[in-house]
Amino acid sequence: MSDQGLKITGLHCGVAGNDDILKGIDLTVEPGRVYALMGPNGSGKTTLALALAGHPSYAVTAGSVTLDGEDLLAMSPDRRAKAGVFLSFQYPASIPGVKVANFLFAALQAVRPGDLGPAKFRALLLEKMESLGMDPSFLGRYLNDGFSGGEKKRLEMLQMAVLAPRFAILDETDSGLDVDALRHIGESIAALRATEAGKNTGLLVITHYPRILRYVHPDVVHVMLDGRIVKTGGGDLAELIELQGYDVIRAESGAVA
């Protein structure tokens, strides 16, 4: 069996005051494929994302995670990023005083030191922004300062395009977006996946609703309830959830949340 991929086995994880949020997660993200992780609020989806990124408040109590055969849990958060793991946050932070261009250059240098000089980096930025339909004026703005929800999420897509990670975890990227913003984000993700680097990126899309999956067609859909993956299927499973909600799956699995 190949070691390639992000492989989660029997993962249990919690946070202070609730030490059993994840209750044995088994999930694999293979390079070049799209996986949707769906579930209602409180089911454990964001806990999984933050645990994979190495958030210090989330303690893994059992199980394993490997990245191309290496122990991901033994890596510090910065080493995980350098190894090719990218997390798009549900609520991206604002940093007044730090310009977008400077932030992105620092991010690339942290992950791949010396990869590009300033001039080549700016050319890369402009190329990626054009492909995502973004105005170059973004580069002179302060990071997420005064940005709309859609602008924050589009900036995360630009960051993903620049860093070209091996595996990307998109934690409710569609959260709080109106119809037009959702379409822009969905089209941005699809555009990234069409690039040479994007074709090799494994994508885990975490979402409540299947609407973003109209643009980012999943190979596999997992449903999480009460800290467990209780059902797995194809794109038709997302369509079933759109029509019937989670109650049918909750009744089938006996889950309480």
| Amino acid at the residue 121 | F
> Two tokens at 65?
């995670």
> Are 204 and 239 spatial neighbours (Cβ–Cβ below 8 Å)?
no
Q: What confidence category does residue 193 fall into, taking pLDDT thresholds of 50, 70 and 90?
A: confident
What's the whole-model pTM score? 0.91
Query: Read out DSSP for 23-76?
Result: EEEEEEE-TT-EEEEE--TTSSHHHHHHHHHT-TTEEEEEEEEEETTEEGGGS-
Residues 129-188: tens digit of each pLDDT: 988 888 899 899 999 999 988 889 889 999 999 999 999 999 988 877 778 888 888 888
Q: What is the pLDDT of residues 40-76, one digit of tens each?
A: 988 999 999 999 999 999 999 999 999 999 999 999 9
Predicted confidence band of residue 257 (pLDDT cuts 50, 70, 90): low
Domains of the chain (ranges, CATH numbers): 6-253 (3.40.50.300)
